[in-house]
Chain A
Amino acid sequence: MAFGALCRLVLAAALWLAAVVVPGLAAERVVSLNLCTDQLLVLLADRTQIASVSFLAADPDLSYVADRIDGIPLNHGALEEILPLSPDLVLAGAFAARPAVRLLQSRAIPVIDLPLADDFATIAEQTRTVAEAIGQVERGEELVAEMTAILADARAANAQGADRTALAYQANGFTAGSDTLTDAVLSEAGYRNAAAEAGLAGYGFLPLERLVARPPDVLIAPATLPGRPSLAEALLVHPALAALDDRVDRLEIPSALLACGGPFTAQAVAALAAVQP
């Protein structure tokens, strides 16, 4: 039958394609141009698969994997650094190194473009996407399962459903309103986002006075200045915030957990869920 023949032909074609493409999918020289994809790559890949990650991946304030970089070449998103590595796969973020990404694509180097993850479903999806592309599906599933388990524990810890607000306050009064990764972290941990309730959508600045006027139950902000300080961070040790101490639980969450959405972001949820009213 003509239909059966067609089916066989399609199947054969599919098998041939699979045979050709699948080994190619297990990329061997992967370059990442973006802090967020850097971290997924380091968590998922064998060391030998990683040709380069961005310089931000080595910054312990921003990167969860900073202590695992040892020896991986760092790039700054410049094509001159990337081409000599002759990558067979490039990972890029929505905002990173656009000119380089366009040129790579024009040279037929495969590029995976990942947008910013601002919820845990997207984090799981991106983890699987990268895992598949570098032939580490199993490790990807492990990471996702680990993350799901931490989130489930956090939900159980807050089973009584305490109705509390939280606010993440950073240098200069920078904070995260609705539709942000921080917002997702807060709601997973069972909190309402005080910045979103103050009317902030996306990221923005919240004046100190407005924070004090309607203080959250939990304030996520470092309480000490770094050794080499800035005025931006000096805001976080303002006496007006200290004056709230008897009404507000203050908590510091390592900034690397919130800088990018990754499986490790679940640890921020766990830390928040552990705060006792």
Chain B
Amino acid sequence: MTGRAEIPYVWLLTGLAGLVVAAFVLSLSVGPAPVGLGTLLSAHDGPLGETAAVIFFEIRLPRALLGLAIGASLGLAGAALQGLLRNPLAEPGIIGISGCAALGAVAVFYSGLAVTYPMALPLGGLSGALLAVLLLYGLAGRDTGVTTLILAGIALSALAGALTALALSLSPNPFALTEIVFWLLGSLADRSMVHVALALPFILVGCALLFAAGRGLDGLSLGEETARSLGIGIGRLGLLVVLGTALAVGASVAVSGAIGFVGLVVPHLIRPLVGHRPARLLLPSALGGAALLLVADSLVRLIGSGQEMKLGVVTALLGAPFFLALILSYRRRVL
């Protein structure tokens, strides 16, 4: 299972940060209008410059910012959940947190509440996510087997999906039901600075809480007894991760829909490089998640014509085979 040698932590971070910057620039440069970064820099005043500025600052920049923040949230939440639950398959999408966040957001958006009170949108996603994490943590957290958590997650996902479809069916708006695709597969198409302003504060606080859990997760990886003897409060650690995940993932899903597998793929790719210490996994996972989502979101704009593909399609195409391979290797180790 090892094979790959550990590389110095600073190099890893520098490399990943470089990847994120490149992916961010790529995301800013791709789109249906023939406008690139060069256009913006070379265009002077006048209608061309004005148009390029609108396309950049109102359409592409919010999209790239959200790709960065949401990718980081998902990668980080995946790494933290895997540490807390000591379960390699824990991921916000797989265990139903994203699905419940989508349900919360759907409820406040289609009822019209989020039109009157925009802040209701991230709060709705956050409430759904919080409910899901609390339920999972209570039901299958800590020292139950790997399968209990996954089964609970499947049940929760199915329930959230069904209730989302129900809520959309109840909307009198003729477009509502078709939009279940957005909520189940996720997309960053045509998001705006309004969405950035709504989601980013919650995402930042959530990520800060998750980073703060690093030392506790390190202790926990040695076992609960050892962690306690090191002076780590398991309850407080659980609270940090639960709240952090709810804030970061809930606000993300509220503006982008549920984008799967990022939180699974990224920590697993990075874990062998950082020596299996949960705290050292957190920052690289956030960077890797951001890079992955930015690239995936650039890809959906390049593939196909007309209405663009949903983001979850790309991440699932990458992530689902990865998930299967993980299950196989896990079984091989256990049997």
Alpha-carbon distance A2/B302, docked complex (angstroms): 79
In the complex, the answer to whether B115 meets A225 with C-beta atoms within 8 Å is yes
**Which residues of chain A have C-beta atoms less than 8 A from B60's C-beta?**
209
Chain B residues within an 8 Å CB radius of A243: 54, 58
- Residues of chain B lying within 8 A (CB to CB) of residue A208: 59, 190
A214-241 residues with Cβ-Cβ distance < 8 A to B are 214-215, 225-233, 235, 238-240
Name the contact of A229 in the complex, choosing from B54, B110, B306 (C-beta under 8 A): B110
Which residue of A229, A231, A240 has the most chain B CB atoms within 10 A of its CB atom? A231
A residues 9-47 near B (Cβ < 8 Å) are: none
Best-surrounded residue of A171, A208, A233 (most CB of chain B within 10 A): A208
> A136 to B173, alpha carbons, bound, how many Å?
37
Q: Is A244 an interface residue (CB 8 A)?
A: yes
Asked whether any CB of chain B lies closer than 8 Å to the CB of A213, the reply is: yes
A40 to chain B, nearest CB (A): 23
Across the two chains, which residue of chain A brings its CB closest to B191? A238
* B117 surroundings in chain A (CB, below 8 A): none
Q: How many residues of A contact B (CB 8 A)?
A: 29
A213 pairs with B34, CB closer than 8 A = yes
Question: CB of B176 within 8 A of chain A?
Answer: yes
The residue from A210, A228, A238 contacting B173, defined by CB atoms under 8 A apart:
A228
Residue A204 lies at the interface, judged by CB distance under 8 Å to chain B: yes
Question: Residue-by-residue, is B21-55 near A (CB-CB < 8 Å gives 1, otherwise 0)?
Answer: 00000000001111100000000000100010011
Asked if B192 and A240 sit within 8 Å, CB to CB, the answer is yes
Are A232 and B179 CB-contacts (below 8 A) given A213-B34, A239-B193? yes
Is B148 located at the chain interface by the 8 A CB criterion?
Answer: no
Check if A172 is an interface residue, CB within 8 A of chain B.
yes
Query: Does chain B have a CB within 8 A of A205?
Result: yes
Q: Are A228 and B32 in contact (CB under 8 A)?
A: no
* Smallest Cβ-Cβ distance to A204: which chain B residue: B306
Q: Which residues of B contact A73 (CB under 8 A)?
A: none
* Residues from chain B with Cβ under 8 Å of A161 in the complex: none
Residues of A with C-beta under 8 A to B193: 239
Residues 170-191 of chain B, each 1 if its beta carbon lies under 8 Å from chain A, else 0: 0111111011001000000010
Query: Assuming the A-B contacts A213-B34, A239-B58, A239-B194, are A228 and B306 also in contact, with contact meaning beta carbons closer than 8 angstroms in the complex?
Result: no
Q: Is the CB of A212 closer than 8 A to any CB of chain B?
A: yes
For B179, the closest partner residue in chain A by CB is A231
In contact, A228 and B33 (Cβ under 8 angstroms): no
A229: chain B residues within 8 A (beta carbon):
109-110, 112, 114-115, 173
A232 CA to B35 CA in the complex, in Å? Answer: 25
| Chain B residues, CB < 8 A from A212 | 33, 51, 54-55, 58-59
Q: Indicate if the CB atoms of A228 and B110 lie closer than 8 Å.
A: yes
Q: Which residues of B contact A207 (CB under 8 A)?
A: 31-33
Chain B contact-residue range equals 20 to 34
When chains A and B are docked, how far (Å) is the Cα of A232 from the Cα of B174?
10
Assuming A208-B190, A239-B194, is B171 touching A230 (CB within 8 A)? yes
* Given A209-B31, A239-B193, also A228-B55 (CB < 8 A): no
- Asked if B175 and A240 make an inter-chain contact with CB atoms under 8 angstroms apart, the answer reads no
Q: Which residues of A contact B2 (CB under 8 A)?
A: none
A213 interface neighbour in B55, B178, B190, B306, Cβ under 8 Å: B55
Q: With a CB–CB cut-off of 8 A, which chain A residues contact B47?
A: 247
Report how far A244 CA is from B109 CA in the complex, Å: 26
Shortest C-beta distance, A240 to chain B (Å), equals 4
Q: Is the CB–CB distance between A240 and B176 below 8 Å?
A: no
Question: Does the CB pair B171–A238 fall under 8 Å?
Answer: no
The answer to whether the Cβ of B329 comes within 8 Å of any Cβ in the partner chain is: no
From A204, A209, A233, A247, contact of B59 by CB (8 A)? A209
Contact A228 B111 (CB under 8 A): yes
CB pair A244 B54 closer than 8 Å:
yes
A238 near B175: Cβ-Cβ < 8 Å: no
Contacts of B31 in A (CB 8 A): 207, 209
Which chain B residue lies CB-closest to A243?
B54
Chain A window 163-176, contacts with chain B (Cβ cutoff 8 Å), 1 for yes, 0 for no: 00000000111000
B307 touches A238 (CB 8 A): no
Closest chain-B Cβ to A223's Cβ sits at a distance in Å of 13
* Interface contact B175-A231, CB-CB below 8 Å: yes
Nearest CB on B from A197, distance (A):
15
Nearest-CB distance from A55 to chain B (Å)? 13
How many Å from the CB of A260 to the closest CB on chain B?
A: 16
Known A-B contacts A228-B110, A232-B179; the reply to A172 vs B307 at CB < 8 A is yes
In angstroms, Cα B306 to Cα A172, docked, is 11
CB within 8 Å of B: which residues of A? 171-173, 204-205, 207-210, 212-215, 225-233, 235, 238-240, 243-244, 247
Q: Which 6 A-B pairs have the closest CB atoms?
A: A230-B175, A240-B58, A209-B33, A232-B175, A213-B33, A207-B32
Can you offer 21 A-B residue contacts whose CB atoms are under 8 A?
Answer: A204-B306, A205-B307, A209-B60, A212-B51, A212-B55, A212-B58, A226-B173, A228-B112, A229-B109, A229-B110, A229-B173, A230-B171, A230-B175, A231-B175, A233-B175, A238-B192, A239-B192, A240-B54, A240-B58, A244-B54, A247-B47
Which B residues are within 8 Å of any A CB, using their own CB? 31-35, 47, 51, 54-55, 58-60, 109-112, 114-115, 171-176, 178-179, 182, 190, 192-194, 306-307
A225-B115, A233-B175, A240-B55 known; 7 other A-B pairs, CB under 8 Å? A208-B59, A210-B32, A214-B51, A230-B176, A232-B179, A238-B190, A240-B192
